[in-house]
Structure 1
């Protein structure tokens, strides 16, 4: 434990306090984190170009094929992130930036000490995380911040866990990870200030209950007894505690968390964890647009009223997953095919056969539909 803690301290002192690029105002055409934003809602409220009228006329404008990871070390496929006219992809341990109009690669960030497994965009920076997958004794990993315009490193920090999940909100980047040689501190959570990488707080024997934030609040769980508590993302201070559950998403307004466990899903107040409604024996991919909560599981998609939890409609689909809401449309994968539905009814809007095999992710933003199949990303526009 002394060695690992020493490495954490060294990493904290070694952060590079380089000049931070000016934080541009929020621009249309962004998808800065997995699940759209810190709420992991899967809902892009700003999309207006691709809608029920235009989605049938999309054309494949370009295709990008990133490099593959070493066998046995592949990350869970992440969607491309989009911000300020650029797309960011994990590229065999590196992070690459592309022009969203042409698909041209603009830069690749590579460092001998960094093997990327996760990303987020926050505060005008691309944030990258690592996970150690080949080592059984060294679980220390880096967190890096990159200038999205140039691909140059702005800061990096070493911390003592192999990172499993992360979320950025309110100018803070929180990473949660695992250490297999750390005795009674197998799990830990560390928060960094986005602008300069300064460590803000750290908790051991805690983990993120999900990659979700709601108006500066996150949910941590104790892996020993699985109880959860809501904490302030800026300070780590506890706000309220609750029972065993994980977090699937927050509401777009940030006033609710959607939790799940083996019994089903629950909508709870983000400040008090007061249960607003529950659906028993429901589980699977969950997103929400604030009016409805969509859940993909058991060869169907169910839509529930976000206020009451009452079932609005059910649509039978083979192996549905990876739900996305944008531009008045609901996107889902059914097996290896893209399906496009009306969110109010679940009925098909247009045949999506033209998009071919889509195995991993869908992103809709800035008048562009991005689909992924392994390391291949395709961009479509009207």
Structure 2
């Protein structure tokens, strides 16, 4: 069994560290949170009744970056939001790995840092457990997803592009106990229907690409398909859009890998699926933004000249609008027709949009630093004047009346 990180469990009020782990732990030190705000109980939020999970980086398998259940943080309360706790996290020494937003589920916040992955308590930011990457293990780009009681961790180590290495593992969310692990580089990862689907493009073993699906409960491989790559972290209600090595696109069933339909049209990236799962939003190699029927592959509408670069970090959709970040602008398109609803030019490069509580959030990076722009989703008008949350390094996560944000070597929680 291949274990990507050394496991260290917090026990009681103070953790006990073995001598072999101390060197790694010091490099990945996470400080205790400051005193809690007024009215905040120790452990509050540890078990949240009827809580919503931000289970994958794009919120869900469709990569919508849209939390339809958020109602506490909205246009009326956003100015009342204040920081309730802050924890420092090790800075990343290079572009690989890069800082990324946390995932939140089961009263816990799961966060990647330069030393590994850590789990914190929602109520007060207390460290519950963490994995420390062994010193000899190379750093890597990490994908996180919570499925039921498992935290799935996919890693593609930094280094060789032609012959990458990595791992795919599942851990118990409550204790950090290893459930299963596989050795393979994880180029993309999406969880849906009890499966975790990953793409492996190792040139030595699978030069034409291979996509595999594993059962989350026990790590058993359910299906695989060669000659294809999954260039996205998107599943549209049980459908995956894969790129053929020989050209064109194939849509397969997430549960079985069976072909549902094929098209000669290649796509550079699958950006998201609609919340209803009835369409994919894609970009092709000619910079044409398209809405594609998930059931047939037919193009529903197209917008040429949208200079989206390959990746999953440029759009959000609430089913009514598609929010697209390009350069200095954030544009809202009608999801049904592709018509422009509004466009707003900001004072720096615009990052991943996030939609929740009637608002849309995006990190703006300028020469003077980064900050968080917060706009009205319906009109694009500012919901907060000026700049806020300076030093933001990745998109916020808004769930259960809490806003989580990485800022200049720290993770902070804000709430009204």
Residue 283 of structure 1 and its aligned partner are, at CA, apart by 3.6
Q: Does 1:364 align with 2:389?
A: no
Q: Report what 1:3 is aligned to.
A: none
Matches within 5 A, 1:154-193: 154-159=179-184, 162-182=185-205, 185-193=207-215
Q: In structure 1, which of residues 234, 237, 254 is the aligned counterpart of residue 255 of structure 2?
A: 234
Q: Does 1:142 align with 2:171?
A: no
How far apart are 1:115 and its partner, in Å?
5.9
Distance 1:92 1:288, change over 3 A: same
Q: Shift of the alpha carbon at 1:141?
A: 2.7
- What is the rounded CA distance, in whole Å, between the counterparts of 2:201 and 2:320 in structure 1? 36
Tell me how far apart the structure 2 counterparts of residues 180 and 352 of structure 1 sit (CA, whole Å).
48
Partner of 1:4: none
Contact preservation (8 Å) 2:189, 2:199 = yes
Q: 1:25 to 1:359 in 2, by over 3 A?
A: closer
CA contact 2:64–2:316 (8 Å) conserved in 1 = yes
Deviates more, 1:282-291 or 1:342-351: 282-291
Match of 1:197 among 219, 243, 259: 219
Change (3 A) 1:188 1:25: farther
1:309 aligns with 2:309: no
CA RMSD of aligned residues (A): 2.3
Using the alignment, how far apart are the partners of 1:152 and 1:241 within structure 2? 41
Task: Kindly state the Cα deviation for residue 361 of structure 1 after the two structures are TM-superposed.
Answer: 1.9
Q: In 2 relative to 1, CA 56–265 (structure 1 residues): closer, same or farther, beyond 3 Å?
A: same
Distance 1:254 1:376, change over 3 A: same
Aligned counterparts of 1:232 and 1:87: Cα–Cα separation in 2: 31
TM-score (normalised: structure 2): 0.80
Shift in Å, 1:111: 6.6
**CA displacement 1:135-178 (0-9 Å, x = unmatched):** 5786443211111111111111223xx21111000111011122
Report if aligned partners of 1:286, 1:323 keep a CA contact under 8 Å in 2: yes
Q: Distance in 2 between matches of 1:282 and 1:314?
A: 13
Partners of 1:87 and 1:115 lie apart in 2 by: 21
- C-alpha displacement at 1:263, in angstroms? 3.1
Which residue is 2:325 aligned to?
A: 296
Look up the SS of the partner of 1:209 in the other structure: coil
CA contact (8 A) 1:300 1:316 kept: yes
Deviations 1:316-363 (A, max 9, x none): 113211100001111111211101111111000113634121122211
Moved more, 272-281 or 133-142: 133-142
Match of 1:5 in 2: none
**Partner of residue 349, structure 1:** 383
Q: Say if 2:329 is the partner of 1:329.
A: no
Would you say 1:130 and 2:155 are equivalent positions?
yes
Q: TM-score normalized by structure 1?
A: 0.87
Pick the aligned partner of 1:51 from 68, 74, 77. Answer: 74
Q: Following the alignment from structure 1 to structure 2, what is the Cα–Cα distance between the partners of residues 235 and 26?
A: 34
Cα distance in 2 between the residues matched to 1:233 and 1:319: 35
Select the structure that is richer in strand: 1
User: Any idea what the Cα deviations from partners look like across 1:226-250, whole Å, max 9, x if unmatched?
Assistant: x211101111111111211120000
Distance 1:46 1:229, change over 3 A: same
CA positional deviation for 1:92: 2.4
Q: Equivalent residue of 1:258, what SS? A: strand
Q: Distance in 1 between matches of 2:411 and 2:152?
A: 20
Structure 1 residues 157, 330: closer, same or farther in 2, change over 3 A?
same
Q: Where does residue 18 of structure 1 map in the other structure?
A: none
